[in-house]
Structure 1
């Protein structure tokens, strides 16, 4: 197993608070889902508070099976799921009112206009008739569909269809929203807009984003859930994942001066690896224990010299993700 244990993370909500002082918006306990002899979700437990949680894992890890169970679209063999105070198995109608779900492939009625479709969604979600128009307008505004509300859904670009899928998921301000690869088809500027929108929305709601992009996890998510072979192998902040597994951050720092930093110029948690100078300045290769050490070093050096660039030479989150997944696979192989 990887050196980072999930025990500590499992004792707190992903929103950052303790499970004893914050009522979770989503609580999953010992969830198990089987397909014949294959276990797709294997005794998974976690609780989420407000914030964006990334759901990560390789193909076949059990992410899709977990999401369909959370959305109440598939039965499970053991365990429980609660959204707010609603038990998904015992009171599915109440739970669905509190949930928004965007699958990876949204089945749209291509002949309907955007506002017509979202109005239909508002009706299905049992939003009171007097509030539906405002709910549709809010969903359109949030997801950047203001330029195409009267367009036929089937004639929209892939990016705008993704926005319609997100709009229907957010309809009615659900307590918990599950988004499967929501950034597919969006250009870089639109991705930035959608990240900002989701971060604002998640200040009071729980949002789960399933993604294969570790960049999204790093930039957008407060916490991540990493699955491998049906098990939850890590839960916590992306930065803590790399730090907890012992992955130091290696940096290339460019200084616009002819200098040669030494041991006295380092801060706690950093190590000098190499220095190379040229006519335009000095490039220093440094290893830092964590992001805090990086920030301290850059701040200290910027007070002494003009620091022009700071860039990572290795993706520590990617390395930690690979170790978590491969460690789980190795452990499963040893016990089989």
Structure 2
């Protein structure tokens, strides 16, 4: 087990921001943290990165106690906070060389380490540009590169896609997906589909407590689909299609359906064509994770 956290607790005065959190991450695994604002996601990541001491609990990284031997443990992790610590007056290459030196990369290996980080994060073309003149998307890549430059076993990313446009989102998500081959990754996000696509496991927080921990794949079912037609045919009409079971309404005019087989999918499309139902949406129910998230957080709030 690469990362083990036991009983992590953090209090700010009388307010408990995190309550006895237990967490494990294996090599090559991507763990996603989900939760509403104020749930404790950023606090958890600051604790795991060693930037904030816990009020109680223990963190071990590769068998090294983060609290007892912080310098040794931190050589094994890279951290991207929600607001990356960038220096706008430096070029990308100079900044990464500076970070490599801070992280203890030997002098003889720094140039190669910087070059690899530039290549992995798609920064080669902007290596000589000042960070302050880069787009938000490129600045986020620089933030990820500084977390990778010393080749850590664990990479911690706090809201790595916040504020990005669709093209920038796609590039950063692809980069996170590529990291899993050589690193363990822990990242927080508000975007459920992002967690569904990138993570092996998810941990949902609400009011500083873990309300769910499990595999993302357990929440996805290949035989389910969310559909919407115009006009809305309604549950009764949809249920008359061979092989279709109407599970529930998931929005205005949106239905979660269970398909008995591939023939049921074809039968539904034929019925829609015959009845003049215009297809507005057809998607995999990543919303199964959404339903779990809403149920878990609402139960905690209650």
- Decide: shared fold, TM above 0.5: yes
Q: Is 1:253–1:311's contact at 8 Å kept on the other side of the alignment?
A: no
Distance of aligned partners of 1:250 and 1:80 in 2 relative to their CA distance in 1, 3 Å threshold? same
1:45-103 CA distance string (max 9 Å, x none): 02111222111111111111111111111111211101112110011011110010001
Q: What residue number does 1:216 align with?
A: 194
| C-alpha contact 1:223 1:236 (8 A) present in aligned 2 | yes
Change (3 A) 1:79 1:285: closer
Q: Aligned partners of 1:314 and 1:53: how far apart in 2?
A: 17
The offset of 1:209, in angstroms, is: 1.3
Matched, 1:25 2:22: no
Secondary structure of the equivalent of 2:211? Answer: strand
1 CA distance for matches of 2:47 and 2:151?
20
State the SS of the aligned residue for 2:101.
helix
Aligned twin of 1:240: 218
Kindly state the Cα deviation for residue 252 of structure 1 after the two structures are TM-superposed: 2.6
Q: Which of these residues, 164, 183, 207, is aligned with residue 142 of structure 2?
A: 164
Structure 1 residue matching 2:128: 3-state secondary structure: coil
- Structure 2: gaps (5+ residues): 230-236, 249-253, 271-278
- 1:34 is matched with 11
Deviation at 1:196, TM superposition (A): 2.4
Give me the CA root mean square deviation.
3.0
Q: 2:294 aligns with which of 292, 306, 322?
A: 322
How far did residue 240 of structure 1 move?
A: 2.6
What are the equivalent positions in structure 2 for 1:58-73 lying under 5 Å apart?
58-73=36-51
Contact 1:250 1:314 in 2 (8 A): no
Corresponding residue SS for 2:126: coil
CA distance in 1, matches of 2:135, 2:9: 38
Q: For 1:72-221, what aligned pairs fall within 5 Å after superposition?
A: 72-221=50-199
CA deviations on 1:257-299 (whole Å, 9 max, x unpaired) are xxx9988942xxx62579xxxxxxxxx96622xxxxx5x63x3
Is 1:252 paired with 2:233? no
Whole-Å Cα distance in 2 between the matches of residues 261 and 215 of structure 1?
Answer: 26
Structure 1: which 5+ residue stretches go unaligned?
1-23, 255-259, 275-283, 289-293, 331-336
In the aligned structure 1, how far is the partner of 2:194 from the partner of 2:145?
20
Answer whether contact 1:33 1:42 (CA < 8 A) is retained: yes
Measure, in 2, the Cα distance between the counterparts of 1:54 and 1:193. 18
Aligned 8 A contact 1:88 1:95 in 2: yes
- Farther off after superposition, 308-317 or 319-328: 308-317
**Structure 1 residue 52 and structure 2 residue 26: aligned?**
no
* Partners of 1:171 and 1:28 in 2: CA distance: 25
* 1:287 paired residue number: 257
Partner SS, residue 127 of structure 1? coil
Mapped contact 1:162–1:185 kept (Cα < 8 A): no
- Residue 166 of structure 1 aligns to a residue whose secondary structure is helix
Report the TM-score, using the length of structure 2 for normalisation.
0.82
Secondary structure at the counterpart of residue 32 of structure 2: strand
- 1: distance between equivalents of 2:8 and 2:257? 40
Distance in 1 between the 2:10 and 2:268 partners?
57
1:27 deviates by 0.6
SS of match in other structure, 1:147: helix
Q: How many residues align?
A: 280
